[in-house]
Amino acid sequence: MKIIIDGTKMKDFYSGLGQYSYHFIDELLNQEPSLDIHVYGSKPPQTALDKELFIHASFLNRVFPQSLPKSDIWHSLFQYSAYQPKRQVQILTVHDLNFLRDKSKTKQQKYLRRLQKECDNAIHVICISQFTQKELLDNIKIEDTKTSVIYNGIKAFKGTIKKPLFTPEKEFLFSLGVFKSTKRFDSLVKMMEGIQDKELIIAGNYNTPYGKQVKDLINQQGLQDRVHLVGIIPEEEKQWYLQHCAAFVFPSITEGFGMPVVEAMLHGKKCILSNESSLPEIGQDKAYYFKDLELDQMVNAVEEALSDDNFDAQAVIVHAKQFTWERNVEETMGVYRKVMGK
């Protein structure tokens, strides 16, 4: 069985899709060393993957899909790849339909048409959560038997945790993510008006239009001494914040899966989440939820979570440990064998 994995997103290695692609490919190679596996794209310098695995992605292949290398299975690890093979057995992984909430009606229709075409060309579609699967079935003409849910894996951090340059003086709440409006970091800033004895740290690249709005809001509310935007941080510093925070707060309203939540749970942390998108599915009864994103409701949710003496950190860790790359690849191999009739 010759399998080609579209790994072109690994070019942006530290992006969400870049990390997803790398960890999937790495575990697939680990589990199935006898398979004829190739990766379409360039080898990331940050990895020890064998350079011989990679097939150079060319502009010619993009313009003339029939020139793409042939395989028994072509698996695109993300929707909207620039490379769409013709007359090959294709498997597609769909991460989310967030464009339904953060794009104009015109752009929504454009993205839906493109996704419909990709799903039509695929023999099977993998969704990373039941939430994503439901949105796909509600908006794309596709048989439910042609889809399956395979949860993301999370790689437990095994390096040395490093104390960041900035550490808060008080007990603190922690959040992180891409600075766009659907992450609702602004609601966390407003929430801190009602939480006087804590600090809030938000990690991520805030040099975006929405990041400027959040920064301006911090200044307007006079919260510069208690709300801190620390920017992009290395993995070892992120782990320090996760390890030492009083709780992880995540009010995002558009998550196909919610990997940061599982990362926090691996530390046995109290996670207080939006009750929208996939987050209740991933957190289940091991997390706490904001009923809405109004100040009073958010303050109450944090106070109730922090004062919960029945919280079972070990049960949270056990819950988080089910989301592994080993399980992800095992279930994906099941899809490969099914479509190949093996």
Separation in Å, CA 261 to CA 75, 113, 138, 270, 331:
27, 31, 26, 10, 22
Torsions phi, psi of 241, nearest 5? -60, -40
Per-residue pLDDT, 101: 87
Q: Assess whether pLDDT exceeds 90 at residue 29.
A: yes
Label residue 14 by pLDDT band (50, 70, 90): confident
Q: What is the structure's pLDDT at 87?
A: 85
Please give the CATH topology (third level) of the domain spanning 2-153+324-339.
Rossmann fold (3.40.50)
* Partners of residue 249 on adjacent β-strands: 272
pLDDT tier, 15 (very low <50, low <70, confident <90, very high otherwise): confident
Q: Are 24 and 77 in contact (CB under 8 A)?
A: yes
What pLDDT is attached to residue 1? 84
Mean pLDDT across the stretch 256-279?
96
SS3 177: coil
- Each domain of the chain, given as residue ranges in start order, spans 2-153+324-339, 172-320
Question: In the predicted model, what is the mean pLDDT of residues 213-227?
Answer: 97
Q: Give the per-residue pLDDT at 204.
A: 93
β-pairing verdict for 172-176 and 147-149: unpaired
Calculate mean pLDDT across residues 96-103.
Answer: 91
pLDDT, tens digit, 9 for 90 and up, residues 241-251: 999 999 999 99
* Same fold yes or no, 2-153+324-339 and 172-320: yes
Give 3-state DSSP helix, strand, coil % of the chain, rounded to 5. Answer: 45, 15, 40
Query: Does domain 172-320 bear CATH number 3.40.50.2000?
Result: yes
* Pair 198, 172: CB distance under 8 Å: yes
Would you state the structure tokens that stand for residue 16, as one six-digit string? 């969400």
DSSP class of 267: T
Average confidence score pLDDT of the chain: 95
- Taking alpha carbons only, the member of 216, 165, 217 closest to residue 191 is 217
Query: Does the pLDDT at position 291 exceed 80?
Result: yes
pLDDT band at 292 (very low <50, low <70, confident <90, very high): very high
Measured in whole angstroms, the distance separating CA 7 from the mean position of its chain's CA atoms is 16
Residue of higher predicted confidence among 287 and 19: 287
Which band of pLDDT confidence, cut at 50, 70 and 90, is reported for residue 192? Answer: very high
149 pLDDT band (50/70/90 cuts)? Answer: very high
Q: Is the pLDDT of residue 56 over 90?
A: yes
Q: Averaged over 8-12, what is the pLDDT? A: 91
Taking 90 as the threshold, does the pLDDT of residue 266 lie above it?
A: yes
Structure confidence at residue 310 (pLDDT): 96
Q: Which of 12-21, 48-57, 130-139, 174-183 shows the lowest mean pLDDT across its residues?
A: 12-21
Across the beta sheet with 124-127, the strand order is: 54-55, 36-40, 2-6, 73-76, 90-94, 124-127, 147-149
CB 264 within 8 A of CB 319: no
The dihedral of CA 297, 298, 304, 308: what is its sign?
positive
Token digits of residue 8: 């072109």
pLDDT for the residue numbered 305:
98
How would you class 71 by CB atoms within 10 Å of its CB: exposed for 0-12, middle for 13-18, buried for 19 or more? buried
Helix extents (H) in the chain: 16-31, 59-63, 99-102, 105-121, 130-139, 185-191, 209-220, 235-244, 259-265, 279-283, 295-306, 313-320, 325-339
Would you say residue 342 has pLDDT above 80? Answer: no
Tokens 């191999």 locate to 333
Task: Write down the pLDDT at residue 145.
Answer: 94
pLDDT at 116 over 90: yes
Stretch 56-83: mean pLDDT: 93
